[in-house]
Structure 1
Amino acid sequence: MDIVIYHNPDCGTSRNTLALLRHFGIEPHVVEYLKTPPSRALLADLAVRTGGSLRDLVREKGTPFASLGLDDPAIGDDALLDAMIEHPILINRPIVVSPKGVKLCRPSDIVLDLLPETVPSTDFRKEEGVPFLRDVRIPGDDPALRAALRAAELADDDLDEPGRAFFLYRTLAGEPVGFGGYEQFGVDVLLRSIVVLDAWRGTRIGRNLVPLLQRRAFDVGARRAWLLTPAAAGFFGKLGFKPAERESAPSAILTTRQAAGLCPSDTPLLTRRISF
């Protein structure tokens, strides 16, 4: 399978993506873009082929993003391209090109979208020790989802109502590890029904599951995540979520059944901008 990866060997996510490709017996063409940056035209083409925007490919952390004023949303693609060509560190990584499409593979599990479904299903772990995950879209009335939520004492009364997306998370070998879901309201999304199965608790699997859930929401247009959690604020804080006053949330979030009644009124509300 002919695959190209725009790779930064100093980036853990990029290294994980490359390692997973090799785990499946695929030796991609590796482009260390800091040494050999793509042309302006190629970079613009890659952005189009991801199906997103050029801004989605701009890396903020550890780059001159802020000092160059690129956080101004009024800056257009031409100026972004100029900056990315002059400062290749601004190109987010890894970008992977395959016959199935082009994606920014953050988190690294996303590269599975670009591989044949027939690749061998054997487990493999990231550098940080957590297994790569596949996510599978499931209906809200999935009995295993409902059972997991009830076991964790989480609300399950509104699972089969419209406007919700739910996922089952499994290891590459197919072992279920947990569930998650969201309700989207334009650029805002309520993350919900996040549960790790008992056998996987304490294994840091949630740190893999939650970013993957956010990425699926990001891909359908969400840019800010909200969640209500009665007991896991510390865990989500490690993932970049911060406490928020309820009056600061959009009305669409506050009028969800989760916020308006299924969760106690004193349940902490957390939020973060979705970015990769």
Structure 2
Amino acid sequence: MSDSDITIYHNPTCGTSRNTLAMLRKSGIEPRIVEYLKTPPTREVLRQLIEQMGVPVRAIIRQKGTPYFELGLDDPSLTNDQLLDAMVAHPILINRPIVITPKGAKLCRPSDVVLDLLATSPHEDFDKEEGSPFLIDKPIGASAEFIEALQAEGLPTDDLDEPAKSFFRYTTLSGSPVGFGGFERYGPDALLRSIVVAPEARGRGIGRNLVLLLSRRAHESGAETAYVLTTDATSFFEAQGFKPISRSDAPASILATRQLVSLCPASATLLARQLTF
């Protein structure tokens, strides 16, 4: 993979974009950098880029810090052409960073997902600007290590082998284990669960990054809204954009999960968050 094969659509004022570029450089790559606010892509280039990513046009529109709502872009009746026109007229609406390599193209939010696009990743730990390490997630089954970690935190393990569930083991680039997490997906809804940060890895922002990466994987699988049930971490999840909701407002598929039906206490708080990146 040569540097000429790799491009990043970059906003240097964005921490996620800077972290992604730093990881490319840590991997020995000096990519072609397109500061798209200075040199925006043409409408056709933008259309082709979104097609290459294989995502809906709306998935690449940034809401935070943009005129998204002022322009009425939350109107679901708008066509792809209308959304493209808005992004061309207002490049700040283009989410960032977008990275293109021979392995594909992707919106790299969180920045850890840039590792999906690299032929090889560094084997030395590397911290983001905020001091939390880049994470690698690997799908796992109900391993003894996973079960022991959940049991140590008093989290349910009885339903790990049931359908519709995906679980991951998280490590740093050097392979040091830092935690676990998973989700159950039911159509556009996902229940995040079994989230554990190893005791020795706490206090470094790993929990936040783990939840972001887990949420991204749920989104990639087709989920549009994430739910989480907790007895003692409500403030943590609120800091990640989740909001407490009444169980009566949750979809039937989430209410029917064993986590809500029997495995977690009725006093546990249910929170939800729209999966936008």
Give the TM-score band, short-chain normalised: over 0.9
1:120 Cα deviation after fit = 3.0
Corresponding residue SS for 1:25: coil
4+ residue runs of structure 1 moved beyond 6 angstroms?
none
1:87 is aligned, of 85, 90, 96, to 90
- Percent identity between the two aligned chains: 59
- Matched position secondary structure for 1:272: strand
Name the amino acid aligned to 2:132: V
Paired residues for 1:1-276 under 5 Å: 1=2, 2-117=5-120, 119-139=121-141, 141-276=142-277
Deviations 1:92-147 (A, max 9, x none): 00000000000000000010000013x331110000000000100111x2111111
* 2:56 partner amino acid: S
Contact 2:169 2:181 in 1 (8 A): yes
2: CA distance between counterparts of 1:55 and 1:47?
10
Residues 133-169 of structure 1, C-alpha deviations (whole Å, 9 max, x = no match): 0100111x21111110000110111001111000001
Counterpart AA for 1:159: L
Deviation at 1:48, TM superposition (A): 1.1
Distance in 1 (alpha carbons) for counterparts of 2:112 and 2:54? 18
How far apart, in 1, do the equivalents of 2:165 and 2:251 lie? 17
Q: TM-score under structure 2 normalisation?
A: 0.98
User: Aligned to 1:207, what secondary structure does the other structure show?
Assistant: helix
The alignment's TM-score, normalised by the length of structure 1, stands at 0.98
In structure 2, distance between residues paired with 1:29 and 1:211: 27
Report the Cα distance in structure 1 between the residues aligned to 2:233 and 2:114, rounded to whole angstroms.
Answer: 29
Q: Distance in 2 between matches of 1:189 and 1:67?
A: 30
Report SS of the residue matched to 1:61.
Answer: coil
Q: Residues 11-50 of structure 1, C-alpha deviation per residue, up to 9 Å, x if partnerless?
A: 0000000001001110000000001111111111111111
By how many angstroms is 1:91 displaced?
Answer: 0.3
Question: Can you list the C-alpha shifts for 1:196-239, whole angstroms capped at 9, x where unaligned?
Answer: 01111222210110000000011111110111001100111110
Matched residues in 1 for 2:84 and 2:50: separation? 10
Pairwise CA distance, 1:51 = 1.5
* Secondary structure of residue in 2 paired with 1:271: strand
Give 1:266 shift. 1.3
Quick one: distance in 1 between partners of 2:146 and 2:173? 19
Structure 1 residue 76 displacement after superposition: 1.0
Return the alpha-carbon distance in structure 2 between the equivalents of residues 193 and 23 of structure 1. 31
Deviations 1:174-200 (A, max 9, x none): 001000000001111000000101111
CA distance in 2: counterparts of 1:203 and 1:36, whole angstroms: 36
Q: How many residues align?
A: 274
Give, as a single letter, the amino acid of the residue that structure 2 aligns with 1:62: G
Letter in 2 for 1:52: V
Q: For 1:242, give the aligned amino acid.
A: K
Structure 1 residue runs without a partner (length 5+): none
- SS of the aligned residue for 2:55 comes to coil
